[in-house]
Amino acid sequence: MKIFPSSFLHFLCTPAFYFVTSLILMPVTVAQAQSLLSSDDRAEIHNLYAQYNLMLDAGDSQSWADTFIEDGSFNTFVGREALIAFADGFATANPNTRHWNSSIRITPTADGAAGTAYLMLWKVSTQPAEVVLTGIYTDELVKTSKGWRFKARLIEVDQPANP
């Protein structure tokens, strides 16, 4: 006596069966589905990180502030005018610097994305160039009608080791 037809038993051994059961056993909520990031989103966010670095290093405070939403924040600087004032002051106090990010990690959130990246700030007016500081950025990112932007960006500067 056959309980299951042979075609059904064959189906149990296929990748399709495992795919279907994973959908049933691990359902995705609407919020999770909406928070998934496409490859285009990830590429745009990586370009945002580059734009942030390039504009700050070039002293273009307006374009640097454009990487944030209107009421975005960088550490204690909140809102477009405060961001521009910070960038102007940074360019004056730190000419010839280059921001270098690595280990960029982007994860989806219900509101957009969270990001982290290592930072190395180089002073390039000396030979050889020297590292001025290192740290870690922690970011909140949101997708706007103008593309991905920083909502909040914090930097935790690494402290030198005690000799």
> Which CATH code is given to the segment(s) 37-157?
3.10.450.50
Domain ranges within the chain, ordered by starting residue: 37-157
Chain CA centroid to CA 14, Å: 38
Alpha helices (runs of H) in 1-159, residue ranges in sequence order: 6-11, 15-25, 30-34, 39-58, 61-65, 80-93
pTM of the model: 0.77
Can you tell me the distance from the alpha carbon of 157 to that of 125, in angstroms, rounded to the nearest whole number?
22
> Could you report the per-residue pLDDT of 23-59, keeping only the tens digit for each?
444 454 555 545 589 999 999 999 999 999 999 999 9
Q: What is the pLDDT of residues 58-104, one digit of tens each?
A: 999 999 999 999 999 999 999 999 999 999 999 999 999 999 999 99
